[in-house]
Amino acid sequence: MFPLPAPMRHALDAATAAAASGEVPVGAVVMLGDRIVATAANAPRTLHDPTAHAEMLAIRAAAAALGRDRLEDCDLWVTLEPCAMCAGAIAHARIARVYYSAPDPKGGAVEHGPRFFTQPTCHHRPDVYAGIGERESADLLRRFFAERR
Protein backbone atom coordinates (compact mmCIF):
# COMPACT_ATOMS: atom_id res chain seq x y z
CA MET A 1 0.00 0.00 0.00
CA PHE A 2 1.18 3.51 -0.77
CA PRO A 3 0.80 6.05 2.02
CA LEU A 4 -1.70 8.85 1.39
CA PRO A 5 -0.56 12.46 0.99
CA ALA A 6 -0.62 14.11 4.44
CA PRO A 7 -3.51 16.53 3.69
CA MET A 8 -5.80 13.66 2.63
CA ARG A 9 -4.73 11.73 5.73
CA HIS A 10 -5.89 14.72 7.84
CA ALA A 11 -9.14 15.01 5.86
CA LEU A 12 -9.88 11.28 6.38
CA ASP A 13 -9.19 11.64 10.12
CA ALA A 14 -11.69 14.54 10.21
CA ALA A 15 -14.22 12.35 8.35
CA THR A 16 -13.75 9.61 10.96
CA ALA A 17 -14.37 12.15 13.72
CA ALA A 18 -17.58 13.29 11.95
CA ALA A 19 -18.90 9.71 11.96
CA ALA A 20 -18.22 9.48 15.71
CA SER A 21 -20.49 12.55 16.16
CA GLY A 22 -23.27 10.94 14.10
CA GLU A 23 -22.56 13.09 11.05
CA VAL A 24 -22.06 11.74 7.52
CA PRO A 25 -18.27 11.12 7.46
CA VAL A 26 -16.73 13.77 5.24
CA GLY A 27 -13.62 15.77 6.07
CA ALA A 28 -11.80 18.64 4.37
CA VAL A 29 -8.50 20.48 4.64
CA VAL A 30 -7.36 23.78 3.10
CA MET A 31 -3.62 24.01 2.39
CA LEU A 32 -1.50 27.07 1.61
CA GLY A 33 1.60 25.47 0.12
CA ASP A 34 2.69 22.90 2.72
CA ARG A 35 0.83 24.59 5.56
CA ILE A 36 -2.60 23.46 6.85
CA VAL A 37 -4.75 26.59 7.07
CA ALA A 38 -7.99 24.88 8.11
CA THR A 39 -9.39 21.41 8.82
CA ALA A 40 -13.09 20.68 9.16
CA ALA A 41 -15.58 17.83 9.51
CA ASN A 42 -19.11 17.70 8.15
CA ALA A 43 -21.44 19.03 10.90
CA PRO A 44 -24.89 20.24 9.74
CA ARG A 45 -26.82 18.50 12.53
CA THR A 46 -24.40 19.38 15.31
CA LEU A 47 -24.22 23.04 14.26
CA HIS A 48 -27.89 23.41 13.20
CA ASP A 49 -26.57 24.68 9.88
CA PRO A 50 -27.65 23.09 6.57
CA THR A 51 -24.62 24.68 4.86
CA ALA A 52 -22.09 23.12 7.27
CA HIS A 53 -20.47 20.66 4.87
CA ALA A 54 -16.77 19.99 5.56
CA GLU A 55 -15.67 21.97 2.49
CA MET A 56 -17.74 25.03 3.47
CA LEU A 57 -16.45 25.05 7.04
CA ALA A 58 -12.84 24.61 5.89
CA ILE A 59 -13.12 27.36 3.25
CA ARG A 60 -14.77 29.76 5.71
CA ALA A 61 -12.18 29.04 8.41
CA ALA A 62 -9.29 29.45 5.95
CA ALA A 63 -10.64 32.78 4.64
CA ALA A 64 -11.14 34.02 8.21
CA ALA A 65 -7.62 32.91 9.20
CA LEU A 66 -6.09 34.66 6.17
CA GLY A 67 -8.34 37.73 6.49
CA ARG A 68 -9.56 37.74 2.89
CA ASP A 69 -12.40 36.32 0.77
CA ARG A 70 -10.26 34.80 -2.00
CA LEU A 71 -8.06 31.73 -1.63
CA GLU A 72 -6.42 31.66 -5.08
CA ASP A 73 -3.14 30.38 -3.58
CA CYS A 74 -4.84 27.57 -1.62
CA ASP A 75 -5.76 23.94 -2.35
CA LEU A 76 -8.71 21.98 -0.98
CA TRP A 77 -8.51 18.31 -0.02
CA VAL A 78 -11.85 16.59 0.65
CA THR A 79 -12.91 12.97 1.15
CA LEU A 80 -16.01 13.10 -1.10
CA GLU A 81 -16.86 14.66 -4.46
CA PRO A 82 -18.19 18.18 -3.69
CA CYS A 83 -21.94 18.90 -4.11
CA ALA A 84 -23.30 21.92 -6.05
CA MET A 85 -23.20 24.14 -2.95
CA CYS A 86 -19.56 23.29 -2.21
CA ALA A 87 -18.48 23.43 -5.87
CA GLY A 88 -20.01 26.90 -6.05
CA ALA A 89 -18.16 27.96 -2.91
CA ILE A 90 -14.87 26.56 -4.31
CA ALA A 91 -15.35 28.70 -7.43
CA HIS A 92 -16.27 31.82 -5.41
CA ALA A 93 -13.17 31.30 -3.24
CA ARG A 94 -10.97 30.84 -6.34
CA ILE A 95 -9.39 27.67 -4.87
CA ALA A 96 -6.47 26.62 -7.12
CA ARG A 97 -6.63 22.82 -6.88
CA VAL A 98 -9.24 20.37 -5.57
CA TYR A 99 -8.27 16.83 -4.54
CA TYR A 100 -11.10 14.48 -3.62
CA SER A 101 -11.33 10.82 -2.63
CA ALA A 102 -14.65 9.13 -3.41
CA PRO A 103 -17.07 9.99 -6.23
CA ASP A 104 -20.67 10.79 -5.20
CA PRO A 105 -23.08 9.71 -7.96
CA LYS A 106 -26.11 10.71 -5.84
CA GLY A 107 -25.13 14.27 -4.89
CA GLY A 108 -21.80 15.13 -6.51
CA ALA A 109 -21.57 18.15 -8.82
CA VAL A 110 -18.06 17.81 -10.24
CA GLU A 111 -18.19 14.59 -12.32
CA HIS A 112 -21.93 14.05 -11.76
CA GLY A 113 -25.18 16.05 -12.06
CA PRO A 114 -24.53 19.69 -13.03
CA ARG A 115 -20.75 19.12 -13.51
CA PHE A 116 -20.53 22.67 -12.23
CA PHE A 117 -16.94 23.50 -13.22
CA THR A 118 -17.81 22.86 -16.90
CA GLN A 119 -20.76 25.31 -16.86
CA PRO A 120 -20.36 28.63 -18.71
CA THR A 121 -21.77 30.35 -15.58
CA CYS A 122 -18.84 29.01 -13.50
CA HIS A 123 -16.30 31.82 -13.25
CA HIS A 124 -13.35 29.87 -11.88
CA ARG A 125 -12.27 26.32 -12.72
CA PRO A 126 -9.86 24.72 -10.24
CA ASP A 127 -7.61 21.87 -11.31
CA VAL A 128 -9.33 18.70 -10.07
CA TYR A 129 -7.71 15.41 -9.00
CA ALA A 130 -10.05 12.56 -7.99
CA GLY A 131 -9.59 9.16 -6.35
CA ILE A 132 -6.84 9.84 -3.80
CA GLY A 133 -7.85 7.76 -0.77
CA GLU A 134 -11.06 6.66 -2.49
CA ARG A 135 -11.20 3.19 -0.94
CA GLU A 136 -10.81 4.41 2.66
CA SER A 137 -13.38 7.19 2.22
CA ALA A 138 -15.89 4.89 0.52
CA ASP A 139 -15.43 2.30 3.32
CA LEU A 140 -16.07 4.96 5.98
CA LEU A 141 -19.28 6.07 4.24
CA ARG A 142 -20.48 2.50 3.62
CA ARG A 143 -19.94 1.53 7.26
CA PHE A 144 -21.70 4.69 8.49
CA PHE A 145 -24.83 4.09 6.42
CA ALA A 146 -24.85 0.31 7.07
CA GLU A 147 -24.93 0.96 10.84
CA ARG A 148 -27.93 3.27 10.40
CA ARG A 149 -30.08 1.02 8.23
Question: How far are the Cα atoms of 9, 32, 73, 82, 99 from residue 131, in angstroms, in the given order?
Answer: 13, 21, 22, 13, 8
CB of 145 to a copy of itself, least distance (A): 15
Dihedral pair phi/psi, residue 48, rounded to 5°: 50, 55
Which of 6, 21, 22, 47 is the binder for a copy of itself (CB under 8 A)?
47
CA distance 118 to 111: 9
88 binds a copy of itself (CB under 8 A): yes
**Active-site residue identified among 55, 72, 81, 111:** 55
141 binds a copy of itself (CB under 8 A): no
- Compare residues 70 and 142 and give the one whose CB is closer to a copy of itself: 70
- Compare residues 4 and 66 and give the one whose CB is closer to a copy of itself: 66
Listed ranges 3-11, 24-32, 119-127, 139-147: which one lies at the site for a copy of itself (CB under 8 A)? 119-127
Residues 6+ apart with CB under 8 A from 94: 70, 71, 72, 124
For the question of residue 55 being annotated catalytic, the response is yes
CA distance 55 to 74: 13
83 binds a copy of itself (CB under 8 A): yes
Q: Which residues bind a copy of itself (CB under 8 A)?
A: 44-45, 47-52, 56, 59-60, 63-64, 66-71, 83-89, 91-94, 105-109, 112-116, 119-123
Active-site residues: which are they? 55
